[in-house]
Amino acid sequence: MSECTILSIQVGEPQVLPLSQDDPGDGRTWKSGIFKSRVEGPIWLGEANLEGDGQADLVHHGGPDRAVLVFAANHYVRWHERLDRPLDPGSFGENWTVDSLDEDSVCMGDRWGTGDVEIEISQPRVPCVNLSRRLATPGLHHEIMDAGHGGWYARVIRQGFVEAGDQLTLLERRHPDWPVSRAYRVYLDRQSDRRDAQELASLPCLSLLWIETLGKRIQP
């Protein structure tokens, strides 16, 4: 698939929220930018994020390597059924909800563009406990990880305005052997083929965090 539509765009600043009584987290509050609200009309996509978007954990989220989190709209069908309740776009903390694409059809280093904007796929998203908290379902992030439905991050190559309804076009595919789903599996499986980990770490598009993490793993 060489084209898709941005069905919805979401942004949100970090919030401090109370932990549920059965949550084993430290303290009685948690802070996250995972709650996103839908944007109507054009919004500026800068080098590090969409205008009005923010993250609490800047080590694992946000910044130039992870300026946009993209999620496949098709995944919503499964999680609607699993949770037995409606889920609005942005429920998984994503900035862009897109049709037609998923982790098997998007590759590391892909360049996608719309209007003046160009992005590059930089890293799969590994869901953390905050996604379970966001959806009020303990352990759900492990189920989402097992399904490979985390979504994917992109860095911004060219800044500009984007809007729900914009068409994204595949401009360049440099690593067709590295769909996001494969990168995700190799990263999570510490027993995976060392050569695969080395190859993934060598991709010039890969986020610095993943390069450093894989580098430690493949050291002799």
Q: Which CATH class is domain 3-174?
A: mainly beta
Sign for the pseudo-dihedral over CA of 177, 182, 188, 194: negative
β-pairing, 68-72 vs 96-98, is parallel
| Size of the chain in residues | 220
pLDDT of residue 171: 98
- Give yes or no for residue 48 having a pLDDT over 80: yes
**Domain map (residue ranges) of the chain:** 3-174
CA distance 37 to 31: 17
Would the pTM of this model clear 0.75, i.e. be above it? yes
pLDDT, one tens digit per residue, over 171-209 is 999 999 999 999 999 999 877 778 999 999 999 999 999
Mean pLDDT, rounded, of the chain: 94
Q: Which residues contact 6 (CB under 8 A, 6 or more apart)?
A: 96, 97, 98, 114, 162, 163, 164, 165, 166, 167, 168
